Amino acid sequence: MQSTTFHFLASIMSSSSRHAGMGNLSLEEASEGLKKLLIHNDKDEQLSKELETKIEKLISELLGTTQTVRRILGGFQSFKTNKFDMNPALFRELAEHQTPKPGEAFTFRNIASLVPPFNKLRYSGVGAAIEYAVVTLKVENILVIGHSRCGGIDKLMELPEDDDWVQIGLPAKAKVKAEFGHLPLDEQIRECEKEAVNLSLTNLQTYPYVRERMARKALALRGGYYDFVEGCFKLWEVKTIITTPIHS
């Protein structure tokens, strides 16, 4: 019994480490095989408790992988059936080009909705997304949205200030501490969720292509805050004066 157990377990672990299926076994078959080993273990005292723990962990990992893959595939199938197949003309048009308008979003997600100040090298990922949206797609609106119970803002208010991404949000944190430091921490966090949006709107104006299009009144910046606890959404505009660029 013990040699069979180790042989089967070694086979599963080898296949699992390659992240490429289970050899000739499906994930479901492998999980069922491991469950049978646990059943046999009730009758065979030779199987160690340590090995039993490893088997239980593998079952959990295998089932978790299966559920994750199924969710991804199921989500795509739902999109294909309910969206793609129902609007073939729209998706043929989108395949040719993108011209998103309000409500048709070109979305970029960043932790705590923080947009860093312009820096070609340090924050190239965020900068590339903004540049593509503004310069290539020529979007007319940029909306930065924060939300209630934001884990990123929660960590910003609590973590030491040496993490790189935390440093981006320090001005928002400092302002909240100065103005609302007398309030309980959970209320400070709520204020910072909104102030981080304002900080991002300020930082967006350090991007030269954003400034230029704003000066030409071809681009507007807006902030938003979604409170899913109260079930409300707040929206505000950026009021700023930017002169038209002077070319020599």
CATH (domain of 174)? 3.40.1050.10
Same domain flag for 119 and 51: no
Q: Coil, strand or helix: which one is 152? A: helix
Q: Is the pLDDT of residue 236 over 70?
A: yes
Judging by DSSP bridges, how do beta strands 232-237 and 141-147 pair with one another? unpaired
Domain assignment present for 21: yes
Same domain flag for 233 and 148: yes
Higher-pLDDT residue of 132, 107: 132
Q: How far apart are the first and last CA of the chain?
A: 85
Round to whole Å and give the CA distance between 191 and 156.
Answer: 12
Same domain flag for 66 and 109: no
Domain assignment present for 138: yes
Same domain flag for 103 and 201: yes
Same domain flag for 150 and 50: no
Q: Is the pLDDT of residue 108 over 60?
A: yes
Higher-pLDDT residue of 40, 170: 170
DSSP characters over 53-85 = HHHHHHHHHHHHHHHHHHHHHHHHHHHIIIIIT
Which residues on adjacent β-strands are paired with residue 142?
221
241 backbone φψ class: left, alpha, beta (φ>0; ψ -120 to 50)? beta
Average pLDDT over residues 181-205: 95
Same domain flag for 102 and 69: no
* CA distances for 154 relative to 64, 77, 133, 159, 183, angstroms: 28, 35, 29, 9, 15
Identify the domain containing residue 56 by its residue range.
2-84
Domain assignment present for 31: yes
Q: Is residue 247 marked as binding?
A: no
- Listed residues 29, 58, 84: the one ending a domain: 84
> Which region among 35-44, 53-62, 124-133, 151-160 has the lowest average model confidence (pLDDT)?
35-44
Same domain flag for 208 and 144: yes
- Listed residues 84, 111, 139: the one ending a domain: 84
Q: What is the pLDDT of residue 160?
A: 72
Q: Is residue 232 marked as binding?
A: no
CA 63 to chain centre: 24
Same domain flag for 134 and 228: yes
Query: How many structural domains comprise the chain?
Result: 2
Q: With bands split at pLDDT 50, 70 and 90, how would you rate the model's confidence at 194?
A: very high
- Listed residues 58, 84, 110: the one ending a domain: 84
